[in-house]
Amino acid sequence: MSDTLDPAEIRANVRRFAEREVRPGSAARDREERFDAGLFRRLGDLGVLGALASARYGGAELDPVAVAIIHEELAAADPGLALAYLAHAVLFVNAVARHAGEAQRTRVLPDACSGRTIGAVAMSEAGAGSDLMAMRTTARREGGRYVIEGTKTWITNGALGPGDLGDVALVYARTGEGVRGLSLFLVQRGMPGFRLGGVIGGKLGMRTATCAELVFDGCAVPDGNRVGPEGGAVMMLMRTLEIERLMLAAIALGIARRALAIMNRYASERRTFGAPLREHGQIQGYLAESYAAFRAGRAYVAAAASALAGPGCGADADGAKLYCARMAKTVADHAIQVLGGNGYVEAYEVERLWRDARLLEIGGGTNEMLQKAITRHLTRPETLE
Beta strands at 119-122 and 168-174: parallel, antiparallel or unpaired: parallel
CA 306-307-310 angle, to 5 degrees, is 105
CA distance 332 to 316: 23
One of 213, 244, 349, 361 is an active-site residue; which one? 244
CA distance 123 to 335: 34
Which residues are within 8 A (CB) of 279 and not within 5 positions of it... i.e. 6 or more apart?
Answer: none
List the one residue out of 53, 70, 84, 91 whose CA is nearest residue 237.
Answer: 91
How many C-beta neighbours within 10 Å does residue 2 have?
11
List the one residue out of 314, 312, 357 whose CA is nearest residue 333.
Answer: 357
Give the chain's radius of gyration (CA, Å): 21
Which residues are within 8 A (CB) of 105 and not within 5 positions of it... i.e. 6 or more apart?
Answer: 57, 96, 97
φ/ψ (deg, to 5) at 202: 70, 25
244 catalytically annotated: yes
Which residues are catalytic, by number?
A: 244
